[in-house]
Chain A
Amino acid sequence: MRLPPRNSIARDAVKVWKIMETIYVGFFWLFIIAGGISVFWFDFPRWPLVVAVIVGVIMSYFVIFQIPELRWRRWRYEVFEQEVYIQHGILIQTRTLVPMIRVQHVDTKQGPILKKYQLASVTISTAATTHEIPALTEEDAAALRDRISNLARVDDDDV
């Protein structure tokens, strides 16, 4: 088996994901609350609400406390002279090889949560695909972007 890529992404990614998952889960709980209110308002049977709350609690625990950690552990990347090597995925593990000469452009992006932790994500686009490395430190992201865009497009194939 080919060795996995060497570099992990920034450790703070876990915190960022936890915040984001909390927001998503929050929306889910709004639905449960709305359901709960209508159960008491219209006198619906109560058992579906109980089931929903139990499922919600278990799901929230996994989504907020387990999955970001796992995801971080699986997320690896490595930039070689000629190609970028990425690994990610919790259940379905994916390894991707993107040659530098196929890269069309590189973007760094930073939302408010990433900014709070001085992180940024890097998106690498070829003519056919896009690949994102989420949550690198700002310096790493900028360096990676510059490095890839320097290496990319060495020769010019006609696509």
Chain B
Amino acid sequence: MMMMYKPRRMHPAAVIFNFLRFMKELTFAIVAGFLAFKGTSFGYFIAAVIAVVVLALVFSFLSWYRYTYRMEGDELRIEYGIFIRKKRYISKHRIQSIDLTAGVIHRMLNLVKVQVETAGSGIDSEASLKAVRREDGEALRTMLKRMGEQPEDTEQISSDKSANPVKKITAKRLFIAGSTSGSIGVLAALFAFVFSELEQFIPDHFFEASYAWLIGLGITIIIGLAVVVLFLLWVLGIAGTMIKYGNFTIAKQGEELFITRGLLEKKQLTIPLQRIQAVGIEESMIRQPFGFATVYAEIAGGSLENGNEYSAVLFPILKKDEVASFLETFLPAYVPEERRLVPIPGKARKFYVLRSMLPVLLVAASIMYFFPQLNWVSAVLFIISGVFGWLRYQDGGFLIKGDRMTICYRVWNKRTVHLFHRRIQAFEMMQHPLQRNQGLATLKLSIVGMLGAGKHFKLKDLEERVVDRLFDWYSYQKKER
């Protein structure tokens, strides 16, 4: 541990990661260049690519060579920069979380990536050591975290099992999560895209031959093929979920939640409880009929680099009736209420259905103009959008209990969000002329989301006087009005 006080470099493997990162940033340029120079000046292009690669290697090496870190007193001190020397000192008291992640390469070499985050917003972590030996990473974490605490306290906490609950995903559940992930649609789109790009590299006669072959096969076999392709995509979806959420474990220790996940790349996420702004339960279209849901949290700040997209998944899949006990263990303040929600008034139904059908009107008009033989598609779209409008109306609602508000809404997936009065940053009521005429109003509330940007929730077409009452609930000025 004493070594921590001397400036030291990361593991040389960091050069590889620097290089990969450079290449990742250049991919677009290289692909664009490839498409642009495909024909004539291809030789120059190759030369340029080689030059770029060599440069990237040199820079990767230099940036590793010039990057040192050390602990000094209560501070983590990092010095880096190739031409311009930069020094960054991070006081350990300001650190919100330290996460150790390990990708495939990391795991082969027994390395970890250390990400240090403070409360500041921004896309990058405050400090990110791309590759250090696992022991060093863990030592660094203990130094930064536990230095101020009494060692016997930590003993006590970890010995008390009920205070440190842990929940791990089972293989069966993981499989269910994968098969209902719905990524099949995304994959199909990706597949179509890749295929359409590949198309230009496949000689024409190949297409002609395969078309002839396909037509020869007849309709049943074509349908069979389609089913096989869909099935393969579905399996891919399962594999994707397995890789992403494999070994998903959530643990609570004191005032923090620790989440580890990933089959190949092991990711760790630390969530200080006081940074949770809201807790949501998502029932996706595919999972809802089977009674499964995902629990997630909206967290203030955080960084994109950590891979927690917009909200942090607290548990990828749970039976709906297990959600309450899950929250009871990990986030007792957010246990759902048994009472029924206050629904959206019946006179709002027409607005919901119409709002949902309106965009289809545009599509239908253009279909009618350009492809009149496909008018049945518009009819189907109208029905689907109408049904969704009705579902949105049906699922919308809210509930107030003390200083906690629950709102329920659906865009495609049904979401139930629990949030506290003190987390709401602003409360807004909106009315367009039609709503005024019907005595309805839209409620919008804002909380802090990822990267310090706002996250807004809207409940459309509530009864006007209900929104008024909600304003009174939110208002800090109870006496004057």
Q: Which residues of A pack against B, CB within 8 Å? A: 1-3, 80-83, 89, 91-102, 126-129, 131, 157-159
Main SS at interface, chain B: mixed
In contact, A93 and B452 (Cβ under 8 angstroms): no
In contact, B476 and A99 (Cβ under 8 angstroms): yes
In contact, B426 and A93 (Cβ under 8 angstroms): no
In contact, A97 and B428 (Cβ under 8 angstroms): yes
The number of inter-chain residue pairs (CB within 8 angstroms) is 93
Chain B residue with Cβ nearest A83: B476
With the chains together, A81 CA to B481 CA distance in Å?
13
In contact, B454 and A92 (Cβ under 8 angstroms): no
Rounded to whole Å, the gap between the CB of A6 and the closest CB of chain B is 11
Contact of A91 among B424, B427, B433, B465 (CB under 8 A): B433
In contact, A94 and B425 (Cβ under 8 angstroms): no
Contact of A128 among B274, B446, B476 (CB under 8 A): B446
Rounded to whole Å, the gap between the CB of A154 and the closest CB of chain B is 10
Pull 29 A–B residue pairs with CB atoms less than 8 Å apart, ordered by A: A1-B464, A2-B471, A2-B472, A2-B481, A80-B476, A80-B477, A82-B477, A83-B476, A91-B433, A93-B430, A93-B432, A94-B428, A95-B428, A96-B429, A99-B474, A100-B476, A101-B476, A102-B425, A126-B425, A126-B426, A126-B446, A126-B454, A127-B300, A128-B449, A129-B426, A129-B454, A129-B456, A131-B426, A158-B274
Chain B residue with Cβ nearest A130: B454
- State which size class the interface on B falls in: 35 or more
Task: Knowing A83-B477, A127-B300, say if A158 contacts B275 (CB, 8 Å).
Answer: yes
Which residues of A are found within 8 Å of B449, using beta-carbon distances?
A: 128
In contact, B475 and A97 (Cβ under 8 angstroms): yes
Which residues of B are found within 8 Å of A159, using beta-carbon distances?
A: 275, 277, 300, 423, 425, 448
In contact, B432 and A91 (Cβ under 8 angstroms): yes
Q: B152 at interface (Cβ–Cβ under 8 A)?
A: no
Task: Knowing A1-B468, A99-B476, A159-B300, say if A128 contacts B428 (CB, 8 Å).
Answer: no
With the chains together, A50 CA to B466 CA distance in Å?
50
In contact, A95 and B429 (Cβ under 8 angstroms): yes
Rounded to whole Å, the gap between the CB of A147 and the closest CB of chain B is 15
Q: B422 at interface (Cβ–Cβ under 8 A)?
A: yes
With the chains together, A157 CA to B119 CA distance in Å?
13
In contact, A129 and B427 (Cβ under 8 angstroms): no
Which residues of A are found within 8 Å of B431, using beta-carbon distances?
A: 92-94
Which of B277, B426, B428, B449: most chain A Cβ within 10 A? B426
Q: B436 at interface (Cβ–Cβ under 8 A)?
A: yes
With the chains together, A97 CA to B473 CA distance in Å?
11
Which residues of A are found within 8 Å of B471, using beta-carbon distances?
A: 2, 95, 97
With the chains together, A81 CA to B436 CA distance in Å?
30
Contact of B477 among A81, A93, A129 (CB under 8 A): A81
Which residues of B are found within 8 Å of A101, using beta-carbon distances?
A: 476
Which of A81, A98, A102: most chain B Cβ within 10 A? A102
With the chains together, A99 CA to B446 CA distance in Å?
12
Q: B455 at interface (Cβ–Cβ under 8 A)?
A: yes
In contact, B448 and A92 (Cβ under 8 angstroms): no
Chain A residue with Cβ nearest B428: A96
Which residues of B are found within 8 Å of A83, using beta-carbon distances?
A: 475-477
Chain B residue with Cβ nearest A99: B476
With the chains together, A2 CA to B477 CA distance in Å?
13
Q: B447 at interface (Cβ–Cβ under 8 A)?
A: yes
Which residues of A are found within 8 Å of B160, using beta-carbon distances?
A: none
Rounded to whole Å, the gap between the CB of B287 and the closest CB of chain A is 29
In contact, A94 and B426 (Cβ under 8 angstroms): no
